[in-house]
Amino acid sequence: MSLWLEGKPPRRPGLQGRREADVVIVGAGFTGLWTAYYLGVQAPELSVLLIEAEHAGFGASGRNGGWCTTEMPTWLGNLVLRYGPMGAMRFYRTAGKSLDEIEKVLSSEGIDAGWQRDGSLYLARNEPQRQRLLAWQDMRLKLGINDMTIFEGTAAKSRLNATSVIAAGFTPNCATVQPGRIAIGLASAVERRGVTIAEGVRAVHIGPGVVRTDQGDVRAKVVLCATEGYTGSLTGHARRVLPVRSRLIATVPLPDSVWQDLGWQDRMTVADSRYQFGYFQRTADNRLVAGGRGVGYKARAGADEVIFARLRQLIGELFPLLRDVEITHQWSGEYGLHRDSEPAVVFDPATNMGYAGGYGGEGVALSNLAGRTLTALVTGQQRAETRLCWVNHRSRRWEPEPLRWLGVRGVAAAASWADNYEDRTGRKAPLAGFVMRRVL
Ligand SMILES: Cc1cc2nc3c(=O)[nH]c(=O)nc-3n(C[C@H](O)[C@H](O)[C@H](O)COP(=O)(O)OP(=O)(O)OC[C@H]3O[C@@H](n4cnc5c(N)ncnc54)[C@H](O)[C@@H]3O)c2cc1C
């Protein structure tokens, strides 16, 4: 059970005979909720119906690592290659402003999500990882983004007392959040603005003007799909988004003395710089939450347990003080990845259908920008957001099975091999950077 969803409210009723609306949104995660929120604020004359198979926040939005970050699911260099430096930089900067916007809405709607903007620290524990951090900083500087400070040697160690750290990159552009409370709070906020949320209603097919559900058809002028990692279950959408399974564990609340010994003074988020990286957050009630990237697609039964054990091992490896710490929560979730790793917001005025997603593991902030952008597209507003490079970007479809499975497993195995090679030899794994930059 996700730590973040403890104490969630009882399930809302289903359609209850509701058969039409101006706008129907499928999926009440952050994308669906932010879109409904801005439609409620900017176009209160529209009737908006949000259809959710389980409950608001059930998906990745109620299960993630709680990093509200300006980072992108794809390497910044890929965006530069495709859209040029100006396009990439405009997207990055506008996405970054989502942090201000989210903070503002949480405050105005009285949503206490433990928001704390203490930045992120990326650890390098061998020379190739250090080189990647420097290259990452260099790419940002070339785009005029001067937001990463690199600490070397003892200066890095003084930022966080983790084992074998030789360098660390700090960026202030990340807030730590309790994501479940954002989803639950936003659901109430949209209802206050007249949006109806129907829970326990599963869409099986979406088309222009109609959503077919397990409780009957709903007709709408506009149909928006916000199902991200679950999109493949809709008929005809199996190859649009790759569902990637990701796992997290949480410790018991730790005493202040432990945090002092770790040198973890505030609530900055922390990640290592492996290809299959581990990432951490210090929660408002002083737990350590650890997540990791691993083989997450069509995993075998028992795979969750293997990754949970790896995460426990990672905590002990980085912070020996916590080798035997008690773990109280373990959970997993699914996020969505497009074939080209780029997120997208798409709206077709000819069919009045749209969707947003493909955020990879970086959708907490991006989904807010997506919600504002979808709202502007649906209501026909010309805004800076609607001119960004991810608007109406269509990634090609994933390969049919079993090619997709083989490809994804191959890349995951390559990432794992590259990490082990770099840990063992201290040398850059041949071709790893080239391969990963194109697929992660
Ligand atoms: C374990 C994990 C850790 C992550 N960590 C981070 C992080 O630290 N920072 C970050 O920025 N991002 C992170 N992410 C990614 C981030 O959580 C997602 O990008 C974001 O929450 C996506 O929101 P969404 O609304 O698009 O999708 P979701 O939150 O997945 O919402 C989709 C909703 O659609 C519903 N649904 C699906 N199918 C149907 C259907 N047929 N009919 C009706 N409803 C349906 C689902 O029940 C779900 O509620 C993480 C993701 C995971 C899984």
The pLDDT value recorded for residue 408 is: 86
CB of 390 closer than 6 A to ligand 1?
no
Atom of ligand 1 nearest to the CA of 234: 41
DSSP calls for 129-141: HHHHHHHHHHHHH
How many whole angstroms separate alpha carbon 381 and alpha carbon 393? Answer: 19
Domains 1-115+177-241+338-398 and 116-176+243-335 share a fold: no
Q: Residue 68: helix, strand or coil by DSSP?
A: strand
CA-nearest residue, atom 32 of ligand 1: 227
116 Cα: distance to centroid of ligand 1 (angstroms)? 21
304 Cα: distance to centroid of ligand 1 (angstroms)? 18
The pLDDT value recorded for residue 296 is: 64
CB of 363 closer than 6 A to ligand 1?
yes
Question: Can you name the residues that pair with 122 across neighbouring β-strands?
Answer: 169, 271
Task: Report which of 420, 414, 422 is spatially closest to residue 440, judged by C-alpha positions.
Answer: 414
C-beta contacts of 232-237 below 8 A and 24+ residues apart: 234/26, 234/203, 234/204, 234/205, 234/206, 235/204, 235/205, 236/205
Cis peptide before 9 (omega within 30 of 0): no
How many whole angstroms separate alpha carbon 413 and alpha carbon 409? Answer: 6
The pLDDT value recorded for residue 73 is: 86
61 Cα: distance to centroid of ligand 1 (angstroms)? 4
Atom of ligand 1 nearest to the CA of 213: 42
Residues listed for the chain: 440
Q: What would the CATH number be for the domain defined by 1-115+177-241+338-398?
A: 3.50.50.60
pLDDT tens digit sequence for 6-26: 988 999 999 999 999 999 999
- Given a cut of 70, the residues of the chain with pLDDT beneath it are 294-297, 299, 432-440
- Superfamily of segment(s) 116-176+243-335: D-Amino Acid Oxidase, subunit A, domain 2 (3.30.9.10)
The pLDDT value recorded for residue 435 is: 62
Task: Report which of 30, 302, 71 is spatially closest to residue 169, judged by C-alpha positions.
Answer: 71
The pLDDT value recorded for residue 436 is: 63
pLDDT tens digit sequence for 23-36: 999 999 999 999 99
pTM: 0.96
Q: Where are the domains of the chain?
A: 1-115+177-241+338-398, 116-176+243-335, 403-439
Atom of ligand 1 nearest to the CA of 51: 43
The pLDDT value recorded for residue 440 is: 46
